[in-house]
Structure 1
Amino acid sequence: MTHRFAVRVYYEDTDLAGIVYYANYLKFIERGRSEWVREIGLDQGRLKAETGIVFAVRRVEADYLSPARFDDLLTVETDLVRATAARLVLDQAVLRGDTRLFEAQVTLAALGPEGRPARLPAEFRRSLETG
C-alpha cells in the first residue's frame, strides 16, 4: 500500500535558480518515511527508549527527473519493497500532481544501541504485515 505525504516547497528549500536544491529531496523523503512509520503504528522514540533500536539509511539510489519550484505542493509516496530480518527497502517518489520529479530506492538498517545491525522488533514486523 502506498503511503502519501504532502509537503510544500518554501523559499528556504530553493537555490539561487529558484528550484528545489537537490539535497532537500532527501529531507522530503525522510519526512515521508517518518510519517509512514508513524501511520503503521510504530513510535520510533519509544522503540529507541525501550530497545535501543534505531533506523539508519544504509543506501540511497536517486534519480532527479524534473525540478520543483517555490510554493509547489508536492506529494511524497512511500512503498515497502522488501523487509528482511534487519533491513527495509523502500521505493519513494516526489510528485507534483501526476508528474514524477524525483525517485529513490532507500535501504534502511535497524541498529542496536552499540551501532551494530539488530533484528527488526516483532512489533514492527507485525505492523508491516497489517499496515
Structure 2
Amino acid sequence: MMHRWPVRVYYEDTDLAGIVYYANYLRFIERARTEWIRELGIDQTRLKVEDGAVFAVRRVEADYLLPAVFDDQLTVLTQVTRMTPARIELEQKVMRADALLFAARVTLACLGGDMRPRRLPAALAELMRS
C-alpha cells in the first residue's frame, strides 16, 4: 500500500538560496508518516498509554535529487518495504508532479515504556501489512 500526503512549500521552508532547506525534507516525511499511521486508524497517544509502545527513528538514508522552491505543491509517498517483529522499514519519496526530488529509506523501531526494543503490537502489525 502506498500512502500519499500533499505538502505545500512555504517561505519558512526555504533557505537563503530560495530552495527548501535540506532538514525540512525530514520534517515533510515525518509528518507524512504520522498522517499515514493516523489514516490506518492508529492513535499514537493511545498506543503509548494503553500498550506502552512508541516509535523511534533508528536509521535514515536520504538522497537529495532536485530542489523544491517556494509555493511548490509536493506529494510525499510512503510505503512499507519490510517489517520485522520490532521494526518497520519504509521507503519515502518527495515528488513534484512526476519529478523525484528526495528519496529516503527509514527504519522505525518499536520501543516500550523502558525505551528498549519491543515487538510491534499484533493488531498494529496487521494494519501495516494490509
In 1, distance between residues paired with 2:83 and 2:54? Answer: 15
The equivalent of 1:81 in structure 2 is 81
Correspondence list, 1:55-94, <5 A: 55-94=55-94
* Structure 1 equivalent of residue 122 of structure 2: 122
> How big is the shift at 1:128?
1.7
1:4 alignment partner in structure 2: 4
- 1:22 paired residue number: 22
1:86-116 deviation per Cα after TM superposition (whole angstroms, max 9, x unaligned): 0000000000000000000000000001110
State the alpha-carbon separation in 2 of the partners of residues 55 and 79 from structure 1: 16
Match of 1:20, SS? Answer: coil
Query: Aligned partner of 2:43: which letter?
Result: D
Query: Structure 2, unaligned stretches of length 5 or more?
Result: none
Q: Which amino acid is the alignment partner of residue 8 of structure 2? A: R
Name the structure 1 match of 2:31.
31
Name 2:110's counterpart in structure 1.
110
Q: TM-score, normalised by structure 2?
A: 0.98
Letter paired with 1:92: Q
Supply the RMSD in Å over aligned alpha carbons. 0.7
**Aligned letter for 2:58?**
R
After superposition, the C-alpha distances for 1:5-56 in whole angstroms (9 at most, x for unaligned) are 0000001000000000000000000011111111112111110011221000
How many residue pairs are counted as aligned between the two chains? 130
Match of 1:96 in 2: 96
Counterparts of 1:78 and 1:26, CA distance in 2: 13
Residue type of the alignment partner of 2:13: D
Once residues 109 and 128 of structure 2 are traced to their aligned partners in structure 1, the CA distance between those partners, rounded to angstroms, is 15
Consecutive unaligned residues of structure 1, counting only runs of 5 or more, are: none
Taking only the aligned residue pairs, the percentage that are identical comes to: 65
* Alpha-carbon distance, 1:129 to partner: 2.8
SS across alignment from 1:23 = helix
Deviations 1:62-81 (A, max 9, x none): 00000000000000000100
The list of structure 1 runs, each at least 4 consecutive aligned residues, that deviate by more than 6 angstroms after superposition, is: none
